[in-house]
Amino acid sequence: MKAIQDLYPDNLAHCYGCGKNNSQGHQLKTYVEGEETVSRFTPDMKYTAIPGSVYGGLIASLLDCHGTASAAAFACIAEKIDLNQVDLPIRCVTANLNINFKALTPQGEELVIRGKLKAIEGRKISVDMTLTAKGVVCATGEILAIRLKE
Ligand SMILES: CCCCCCCCCCCC(=O)SCCNC(=O)CCNC(=O)[C@H](O)C(C)(C)COP(=O)(O)OP(=O)(O)OC[C@H]1O[C@@H](n2cnc3c(N)ncnc32)[C@H](O)[C@@H]1OP(=O)(O)O
């Protein structure tokens, strides 16, 4: 299966965090795995907070883009929309993002971000997320994504 972000239409694929058409961005890729979504990302060393640990703003960026992609995917699944189609018909943006930083996030490690659907209420889609490094939860997050009107 393709990454959710690779299903975004070309004219909506410039997001700094996850747009495939933004050559200077992070180009985060999110996949559906069973009931969850997962993204994997190894930050460049320039994203330093305290030496040896990852800058929190980058972690927020990863959770932001993982969350909106997850919301779009969960909404598609709820409506039995095929995630293998060329363009994703559901577009979601972030209305609210809460993050708890639980532990310093080590540099030089692959970060694994997982998402679980919390609720779909009309156009509001809530997703719970965790970010782990070497199996340790370094951050948790909750996003409220809003499905854009047609
Ligand atoms: C496939 C292509 C990919 C698409 C492209 C994807 C690119 C990747 C995006 C990456 C993630 C980002 O960084 S996105 C960029 C950062 N986010 C933004 O710039 C969004 C700025 N905000 C907005 O544009 C707007 O406020 C919206 C779209 C979020 C909502 O406006 P709206 O459409 O007029 O809807 P509105 O009636 O206000 O709200 C709908 C419901 O949500 C609730 N609601 C709205 N905001 C909030 C909030 N902050 N906290 C709680 N609840 C809220 C309302 O009470 C209402 O509930 P009820 O009355 O129904 O119960």
In angstroms, the CA 46 to CA 44 distance is 5
- Pocket lining: 70 vs ligand 1, CB cutoff 6 Å: no
pLDDT in tens, 14-56: 999 999 999 999 999 999 999 999 999 999 999 999 999 999 9
- Report field, pTM of the whole predicted structure over 0.95: yes
pLDDT in tens, 13-25: 999 999 999 999 9
**Sign, CA torsion 135/139/144/150:** negative
Q: Write the CB contacts of 75 (distance below 8 Å, at least 6 apart in sequence).
A: 90, 92, 120, 125, 147
Distance 90 CA to ligand 1 centre (A): 13
- Pocket lining: 144 vs ligand 1, CB cutoff 6 Å: yes
For 17, 22, 41, the CA distances from 128, given in Å and listed in that order, are 19, 26, 18
- Pocket lining: 93 vs ligand 1, CB cutoff 6 Å: yes
- Pocket lining: 20 vs ligand 1, CB cutoff 6 Å: no
Q: Where are the alpha helices (DSSP H) in 2-139?
A: 56-78
Q: Name the CA dihedral angle for 29, 117, 142, 70, rounded to a multiple of 10 degrees.
A: 20
Distance 29 CA to ligand 1 centre (A): 22
Is the pLDDT reported for residue 86 higher than 90? no
- So where are the chain's domains? 4-147
- Pocket lining: 123 vs ligand 1, CB cutoff 6 Å: yes
What is the assigned CATH class of domain 4-147? alpha beta
CA 53 to chain centroid: 20
CA angle 10, 119, 14 (to 5 degrees): 15
- Pocket lining: 8 vs ligand 1, CB cutoff 6 Å: yes
Nearest CA to ligand 1 atom 30: 146
Site to substitute for ligand 1 among 146, 147, 148, most atoms within 8 A of C-beta: 146
**Sign, CA torsion 72/35/129/62:** negative
